[in-house]
């Protein structure tokens, strides 16, 4: 398990806590479930959550599981940056983000976001922003495993923004990521989160 943890820091209303986690080969849901409980605060009236789960079919094919890989150092840095951006845009209490690596069977959660705030509008808007940014910027790759084969999934949003991702990285991080990206390109892989959040009416 790879963690990044900041806080708590008092802002006069809510204690601010940010936690980002990559769960390596975790089969149970307890770690993600605890994140929602940890987001509760008597000072905050809203907790917005998002869970991305493995579907049982894709374009008529029966799905057995999803398998995720990540460039961990850069993935953690990206998650921290996303959470920091969310804090600068909305008034938030806690932000908890977890993404599983390895096998995620049908029906289980691969990515989880929980955000608490005094007001629901901030929590809801920030939650959508965070999951959308995870999809577009975090170097996590997904393979879909079917009953009759498997395929690495490509995410065009990640491809379009991969140069922005390299900004602020050390030379070694860029070189390491470039090697990983080349491997992923051969797999026709890219960012692993293939989930969508519906826009508000």
Say if residue 120 carries a ligand binding annotation: yes
Say if residue 27 carries a ligand binding annotation: no
Say if residue 200 carries a ligand binding annotation: no
Alpha carbons 129 and 82: distance in angstroms, whole number = 9
Say if residue 142 carries a ligand binding annotation: yes
Say if residue 143 carries a ligand binding annotation: yes
3-state DSSP call for residue 23?
strand
> What separation in angstroms does the CA of 55 have from each of 68, 143, 165, 171, 198?
15, 13, 29, 38, 17
Q: 6 pairs with which residues across the strands?
A: 18
Full DSSP string of 51-120: EEE--SEETTEEEEEEEEEE-HHHHHHHHHHHHHHHHHHS--SEEEEEEEEEEEETTSEEEEEEEEESSH
Say if residue 119 carries a ligand binding annotation: yes
Query: Which residues carry a binding-site annotation?
Result: 119-120, 135, 142-144
Query: Which residues carry a binding-site annotation for substrate?
Result: 119-120, 135, 142-144
């Amino acid at each position: 398990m790879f963690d990044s943890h900041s806080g708590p820091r008092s802002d006069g209303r809510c204690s601010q806590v940010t936690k980002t986690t990559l769960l390596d080969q975790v089969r149970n849901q307890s770690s993600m479930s605890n994140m929602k409980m940890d987001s509760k605060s008597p000072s905050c009236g809203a907790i917005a959550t998002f869970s991305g789960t493995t579907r049982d079919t894709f374009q008529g094919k029966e799905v057995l599981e999803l398998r995720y890989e990540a460039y961990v150092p850069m993935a953690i840095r990206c998650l921290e940056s996303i959470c920091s951006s969310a804090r600068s845009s909305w008034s938030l209490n806690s932000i908890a983000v977890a993404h599983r690596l390895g096998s995620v069977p049908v029906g289980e959660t691969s990515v989880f976001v929980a955000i608490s705030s005094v007001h629901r509008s901030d929590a809801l808007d920030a939650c959508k922003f965070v999951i959308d940014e995870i999809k577009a910027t975090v170097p996590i790759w997904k393979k879909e495993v079917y009953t009759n084969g498997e395929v690495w999934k490509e995410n065009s949003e990640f491809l379009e923004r991969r140069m922005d991702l390299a900004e602020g990285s050390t030379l070694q991080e860029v070189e390491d990521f470039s090697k990983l990206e080349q491997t992923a390109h051969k797999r026709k892989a890219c960012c692993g989160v293939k989930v969508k959040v519906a826009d508000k009416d």
